[in-house]
């Protein structure tokens, strides 16, 4: 016997109810984004590797060790997208959307991202993200607050009563961040020998990322580290205060977390993460970026965006929320004539918008009725061999005779 081929590690199959949950979440989130004025977009699954190296940052873990780099077939190297911000900004520059008279640009997406990570619960190598990007000459206060509002709204829309916590921080301008990085470097220099291998590397590449370390033994060093707030300019501090004030005015509860630095290098200014079950990691992450467009060869525009991990949303729902996405049918057509008359009726009902399915000809009447129950069919139409038609209401089990014209009138 040949060996059974299994799916690659860290990937997920979606079938039946899982697939219905996925498609239903997708539709709900995209229509919510539309209500906030975003237009849906899709970008290529793979891009030139240098796009992610330049934007996400050489020092970020995503680029250092977590990208799926494709086998080089020509003179270019390509990478499966680990996230969407870089691609959307690339598309805005390439298509010159930035010269549009209606700024800010507002795009939403729902698609797969790929990261070569060690798979565990809530962490996959191929996963779905829903998110948005707002791009403008200057990202004002209202765009920043609205982005966080939409991220919270999106999680709540799917999670219902399950609590969603928002953690926020302010990373400051490039200059403030550079000063802060220097302070962190000096602080950790004599402690780094006792810290994990990743932190040793981060000290040289991007000391900010040390703050994000999840290793328990490292936390005791991190808690006494200098705080970013001490390195913000007056202007940065004022902006953060105004964001907090506006969030309070809008009744959004949040917690300021000094150690929130985000995994990608391009963030400056306001950043946030959303959590439901902390064990799963962040449900969503986002923030403002100021120099990404310029680094990618575009104008000096700014952007803000977030991304929600759909698999983590689904995991948060399991056992708590209602995952009631059962397939159902309006009509199940059993064709005992086996001559295609059933197909004609099914086609006419589908043209009217009904959900209709048929069993195979080989199924017995009893087997077909059992199948109609399993498929949650509301009604069964029997196309009988004596040239009559019967309609069976599957909830009351009542059956009545119908003429062909009456069936067409359903």
Cβ closer to ligand AMP: 118 or 374? 118
**263 near ligand AMP (CB under 6 A):** yes
**257 near ligand AMP (CB under 6 A):** no
Tokens standing for residue 331: 């009509």
8 Å CB contact between 283 and 313: yes
Cβ closer to ligand AMP: 273 or 335? 273
Give the nearest distance from C-beta 309 to ligand AMP in angstroms: 2
**312 near ligand AMP (CB under 6 A):** yes
Query: Which residue's CB atom is positioned nearest to ligand AMP?
Result: 309
Q: Would you give the end-to-end CA distance of the chain in angstroms?
A: 51
8 Å CB contact between 238 and 149: no
Contacting ligand AMP within 344-373 (CB under 6 A): none
Contacting ligand AMP within 125-164 (CB under 6 A): 127, 129
**211 near ligand AMP (CB under 6 A):** no
Q: Among 51, 158, 232, 283, which residue interacts with ligand AMP (rule: CB under 6 A)?
A: 283
- What residue ranges in 238-354 does DSSP mark as E strands? 255-256, 267-275, 284-289, 302-309, 329-335
- What residue ranges in 342-383 does DSSP mark as E strands? 356-357, 377-383
Give the nearest distance from C-beta 408 to ligand AMP in angstroms: 49
Binding-site size, ligand AMP (CB under 6 A): 17
The C-alpha atoms of residue 54 and residue 78 are separated, in whole angstroms, by 13
Binding-residue pattern over the window 90 to 119 for ligand AMP, x denoting contact by CB under 6 A: -------------------------x-x--
Q: Among 49, 60, 67, 83, which residue interacts with ligand AMP (rule: CB under 6 A)?
A: 83
Say which residue the tokens 């959590």 belong to: 275
Cβ closer to ligand AMP: 104 or 309? 309
Tokens standing for residue 370: 């059992």
8 Å CB contact between 105 and 97: yes
Closest CA to 261 of 282, 279, 243: 282
Paired sense of beta strands 329-335 and 377-383, if any: parallel
3 state SS of 306 = strand
Binding site residues, ligand AMP, CB under 6 A: 83, 115, 117, 122-124, 127, 129, 263, 282-285, 307, 309, 311-312
């Amino acid at each position: 016997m040949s060996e059974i081929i299994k799916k690659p590690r860290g990937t997920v199959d979606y079938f039946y109810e899982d697939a219905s949950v996925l498609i239903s979440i997708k539709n709900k989130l995209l229509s919510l984004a539309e209500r906030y004025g975003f237009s849906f977009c899709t970008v290529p699954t793979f891009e030139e590797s240098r796009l992610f190296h330049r934007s996400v940052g050489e020092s970020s873990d995503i680029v250092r060790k977590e990208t799926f780099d494709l086998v080089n077939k020509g003179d270019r190297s390509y990478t499966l997208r680990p996230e969407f911000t870089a691609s959307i900004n690339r598309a805005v520059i390439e298509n010159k959307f930035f010269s549009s008279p209606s700024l800010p640009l507002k795009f939403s997406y729902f698609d797969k991202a790929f990261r070569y990570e060690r798979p565990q619960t809530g962490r996959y190598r191929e996963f779905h993200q829903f998110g948005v990007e707002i791009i403008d000459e200057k990202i004002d206060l209202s765009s920043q607050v609205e982005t966080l509002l939409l991220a919270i709204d999106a999680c709540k829309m799917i999670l219902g009563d399950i609590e969603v916590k928002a953690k926020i921080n302010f990373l400051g301008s490039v200059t403030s961040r550079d000063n802060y990085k220097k302070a962190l470097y000096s602080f950790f220099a004599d402690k780094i020998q006792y810290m994990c291998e990743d932190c040793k590397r981060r000290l040289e590449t991007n000391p900010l990322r040390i703050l994000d370390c999840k290793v328990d033994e490292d936390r005791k060093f991190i808690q006494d580290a200098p705080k970013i707030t001490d390195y913000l300019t007056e202007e940065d501090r004022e902006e953060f205060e105004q964001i907090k004030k506006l969030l309070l005015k809008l009744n959004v509860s949040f917690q300021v977390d000094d150690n929130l630095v985000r995994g990608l290098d391009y963030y400056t200014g306001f950043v946030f993460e959303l959590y439901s079950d902390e064990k799963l990691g962040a449900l969503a992450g986002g923030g403002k970026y100021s120099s990404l467009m310029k680094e990618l060869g575009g104008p000096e525009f700014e952007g803000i965006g977030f991304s929600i991990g759909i698999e983590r949303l689904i995991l948060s729902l399991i056992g708590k929320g209602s995952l009631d996405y059962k397939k159902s049918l309006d009509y199940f057509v059993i064709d005992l004539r086996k001559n295609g008359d059933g197909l004609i009726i099914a086609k006419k009902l589908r043209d009217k918008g009904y959900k209709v399915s048929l069993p195979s000809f080989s199924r017995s009447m009893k087997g077909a009725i059992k199948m109609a129950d399993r498929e949650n069919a509301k009604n069964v139409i029997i196309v009988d061999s004596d040239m009559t038609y019967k309609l069976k209401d599957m909830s009351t089990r009542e059956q009545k005779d119908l003429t062909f014209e009456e069936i067409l009138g359903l």
